[in-house]
A and B are shown apart, each in its own frame.
Chain A
Amino acid sequence: MRFWKYSTPQNFYPAAKKIAAVFFVLALCFGIPGLYIGFFVAPTDHQQGEAYRIIFIHVPAAWMSMFIYVVMAFWAAVGLILNTRLSSMLAQALAPTGALMTFLALWTGAFWGRPTWGTWWVWDARLTSELVLLFLYVGFIALRASIEDPRRADKASAILAIVGVVNVPIIYFSVKWWNTLHQGASVSLTKAPSMASDMLLGMLLMALSFWMYSIAVSMLRVRKIIRDRERNSGWLNN
């Protein structure tokens, strides 16, 4: 298969539509059972009662907020190094979804913290570093918007994206490195998950659903970006 064929906007444009459709369907395939398990199978929690059910969107949104940033920085770096237009367009397409996931992680976190911890917000290391992530996404989008020439915007925003990657491990390890109000990870690669299996299954399905959704909307957005940036090149109209 000639994989590289898809590395130009012209060839990727129709492919992106198909990818988006497939991943929207996948998002539903994981999301519907995820929500069903989250609300009708997973038991009540011994400490938090029903308030813990926010976990089924909070953790997936928080995971995606970090993961999307790394992927965005990766494509931005590829665009910067190899000078490929499509890579930079992918980075550009990921930023709003990443910002949305960060916002949702913060929002659902506030709505979870209020009834359990007793506060909407504290300046602990986990919450603060997640807020910095939102600033990085918004900064990336604003920087792009302030530069008229898209190729120059690609370069400038790539540098910001790459520098900001430092924040991702800070978010992840903040609960280990410092005293935080936020609890440690329930699910990690180094230890057995400290969650009842139905709760864990619901959360993992929702995380997969958020992942598939993020791919799908990024594909739709990359199409929008291609339409925007290639409108004068002629191939779009025929």
Chain B
Amino acid sequence: MEWGSLQNFIDMGGYGLYVWGSYLVTLFAIAIEIFSLREK
């Protein structure tokens, strides 16, 4: 898969909001879970 430019990659063929809206929330949820389980 050749994206050509970073702009194209972020744009996701017009579906950027939906693709990144899914991935960022997943990343955020995983970060919160790991943070909540840290051992002091």
Question: Chain A residues in contact with chain B, CB under 8 A?
Answer: 39-44, 49-51, 53-54, 57-58, 61, 96-97, 100, 103-104, 107-108, 111-112, 114-115, 213, 217, 220-221, 223-224
With A and B bound together, what is the CA distance between A151 and B38 in angstroms? Answer: 25
- In the bound complex, residues from chain B placing their C-beta under 8 Å from that of A40 are 1, 3
Contacts A41-B1, A42-B1, A97-B33 given; does A107 touch B15 at CB 8 Å: no
Contacts A97-B33, A220-B39 given; does A44 touch B21 at CB 8 Å: no
With A and B bound together, what is the CA distance between A34 and B27 in angstroms? Answer: 15
- In the bound complex, residues from chain B placing their C-beta under 8 Å from that of A107 are 22, 25-26
With A and B bound together, what is the CA distance between A114 and B3 in angstroms? Answer: 24
Chain B, residue nearest A115 (CB): B18
**Are A100 and B22 in touch, CB under 8 angstroms?**
no
Question: Chain B residues in contact with chain A, CB under 8 A?
Answer: 1, 3, 9, 12-15, 18-19, 21-23, 25-26, 29-30, 33-34, 37, 39
- In the bound complex, residues from chain B placing their C-beta under 8 Å from that of A42 are 1
Q: How many A-B residue pairs have CB under 8 A?
A: 67
- In the bound complex, residues from chain A placing their C-beta under 8 Å from that of B23 are 54, 57
- In the bound complex, residues from chain A placing their C-beta under 8 Å from that of B37 are 217, 220-221, 224
- In the bound complex, residues from chain B placing their C-beta under 8 Å from that of A96 are 33
- In the bound complex, residues from chain B placing their C-beta under 8 Å from that of A103 are 29
- Residue among A43, A51, A104 making CB contact with B29, cutoff 8 Å: A104
Chain A, residue nearest B13 (CB): A50
